[in-house]
Amino acid sequence: MGPRPRSALGGEAAGVVAVRVSALLGLRVTTESGDRLGRVHDVRAELTPRTCKVTGLVVGRVGFLERLGFGAPGSDSRLRGHDVVPWSAVIRADRRGVVVRDGAKTR
């Protein structure tokens, strides 16, 4: 059996795509139709005893401030809302950027 194909961000493709979270940081996020949503400033994930599942990408200006520590969980300053694109809306993530479905709402 030959080698498994690799994803554009360095993981192996075998039903589940493994990516380096650090490879996502700083990528431009756009919708299918080309609307810019900002850049990836942080990644949201659910951590279980056996896995770490990405649930969303923190994008935009508020996401940048949160990355700097303003309004982050546990901080004294809270920001009104933040821009998190659900991972389920991601169509493609590679070195060229992240493309999400049109109508993907940040929460």
All structural domains of the chain with their residue ranges = 21-100
Residues 35-90: tens digit of each pLDDT:
999 899 888 889 999 988 889 998 876 666 666 666 655 555 544 445 889 999 99
Here the tokens at position 9 are 């961000």
C-alpha span between 72 and 66 (Å, rounded): 5
Task: Give the model's confidence band at 12: pLDDT under 50 very low, under 70 low, under 90 confident, else very high.
Answer: very low
Which residues, 6+ apart, have CB-to-CB distance to 5 below 8 Å? 12, 13
| pTM for this model (two decimals) | 0.68
Please give the CATH number for the structural domain made up of 21-100.
2.30.30.240
Task: Give the model's confidence band at 10: pLDDT under 50 very low, under 70 low, under 90 confident, else very high.
Answer: very low
